[in-house]
């Protein structure tokens, strides 16, 4: 089974297992007992050193083991491979379990990103933002790379630069493995879905501002076919669904699950929310992940070429799969 397919299936399975654990008694939902909490921490790949100002990324490149040091500059910015000749700025988001400052190693997407670009001689200044802000900064050329991004359809309009397309300002890299995009609803909301997006007409649909979803969904959304409610992030979207302010949401079920479990809600509130929400089948699409390079960077073509060359090399050597496996949700904490 291809790794991308495995990750997509894992996302759905994890979401359903979480719901089952939270309602295994058939009555009051409960999180795992104390003796099982260590297992839960491993599954979520929570970083035991999340408050540390240092992070090392270790990878194999051209048969040699390499280690790249990272240092926190402020609450949302990190500098990796300081002193390297080529310097770039990257904008990302907290999107656990794929990437996030609270994850072990900041998640597999961060591990891979640092390894790929450090192998090509780049110093990386990486800042975490709300996603819409990250998109705006890269489309406007203030930052050089936006990640992790979904596929951008050729005619997708920019939300930030009037009367332009997103691909007027960005160029996508080669793909990385990703995960599913699905509908999620409340258990008490009666809705049968055949896969035809016309069945969503008239429903209040929650999406995260600035996210790509699927080309068909986004095209219909841009055409005004849906009643859309925007959220800042996946957790806010889940809260709106739980409290009945929307009928259904669009997102990655694994991200939604993790956003609830990693929130500041009480144990009982997390249980209640996880019991109430469920994914809708069939899923909308399995999405790959990409880096979006700003074409306003004068050296964007060489940056993109370096990035794609590194992706190809890490795929061919198996190092990409190793980093993903070592820092994915089910990976054990050392």
pLDDT in tens, 193-236: 999 999 999 999 999 999 999 999 999 999 999 999 999 999 99
- Measure Cα distances from 178 to 97, 296, 326 in Å: 11, 27, 15
Same-domain pairing of 155 and 143: yes
Contact 267, 14 (CB under 8 A): no
- What is the number of structural domains in the chain? 2
Contact 171, 234 (CB under 8 A): no
Contact 104, 46 (CB under 8 A): yes
Q: Is 320 exposed, middle or buried (0-12, 13-18, 19+ CB in 10 A)?
A: buried
Paired strand residues for 290: 149
Paired strand residues for 180: 286
**What is the rounded CA–CA span in Å between residue 33 and residue 296?**
52
Give residue 223's domain range. 180-286
**What is the rounded CA–CA span in Å between residue 280 and residue 189?**
11
Domain-embedded: residue 10: no
Query: Whole-prediction pTM value?
Result: 0.85
Same-domain pairing of 166 and 63: yes
Pairing type for strands 77-80 and 122-128 reads: antiparallel
* CATH code of 237's domain: 3.40.190.10
Same-domain pairing of 193 and 250: yes
Q: Is 269 exposed, middle or buried (0-12, 13-18, 19+ CB in 10 A)?
A: middle
pLDDT in tens, 142-198: 999 999 999 999 999 999 999 999 999 999 999 999 999 999 999 999 999 999 999
Contact 55, 78 (CB under 8 A): yes
Contact 109, 148 (CB under 8 A): yes
Give the mean model confidence (pLDDT) for residues 86-98: 97
């Amino acid at each position: 089974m291809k790794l991308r397919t495995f990750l997509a299936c894992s996302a759905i399975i994890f979401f359903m297992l979480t719901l089952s654990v939270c309602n295994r008694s058939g009555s009051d939902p409960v999180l795992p007992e104390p003796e099982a909490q260590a297992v839960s921490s491993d599954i979520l790949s929570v970083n035991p050193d999340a408050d540390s100002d240092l992070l090392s990324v270790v990878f194999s490149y051209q048969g040699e083991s390499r280690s790249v040091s990272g240092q926190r500059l402020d609450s949302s910015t990190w500098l990796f491979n300081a002193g390297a000749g080529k310097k770039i700025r990257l904008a990302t988001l907290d999107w656990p379990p794929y990437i996030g400052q609270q994850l072990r190693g900041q998640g597999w997407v961060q591990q891979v990103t640092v390894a790929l670009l450090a192998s090509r001689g780049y110093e990386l200044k990486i800042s975490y933002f709300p996603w819409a802000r990250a998109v705006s900064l890269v489309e406007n050329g203030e930052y050089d790379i936006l990640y992790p991004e979904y596929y951008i359809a050729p005619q997708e309009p920019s939300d930030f630069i009037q009367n332009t397309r997103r691909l007027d300002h960005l160029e996508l890299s080669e793909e990385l493995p990703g995960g599913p995009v699905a509908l999620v609803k409340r258990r008490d909301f009666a809705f049968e879905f055949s896969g035809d997006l016309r069945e969503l007409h008239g429903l209040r649909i929650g999406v995260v501002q600035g996210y790509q979803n699927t080309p068909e969904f986004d095209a219909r959304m841009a055409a005004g076919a849906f009643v859309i409610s925007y959220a800042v992030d996946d957790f806010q979207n889940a809260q709106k669904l739980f409290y009945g302010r929307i009928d259904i949401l669009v997102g990655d079920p694994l991200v939604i699950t993790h956003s609830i479990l990693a929130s500041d809600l009480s144990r009982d509130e997390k249980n209640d929310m996880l019991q109430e929400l469920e994914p809708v089948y069939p899923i909308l699409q399995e999405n790959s992940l990409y880096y979006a390079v700003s074409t306003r960077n004068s050296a964007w073509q060489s940056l993109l070429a370096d990035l794609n060359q590194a992706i190809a090399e890490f795929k061919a050597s198996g190092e990409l799969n190793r980093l993903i496996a070592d820092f994915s949700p089910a990976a054990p904490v050392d």
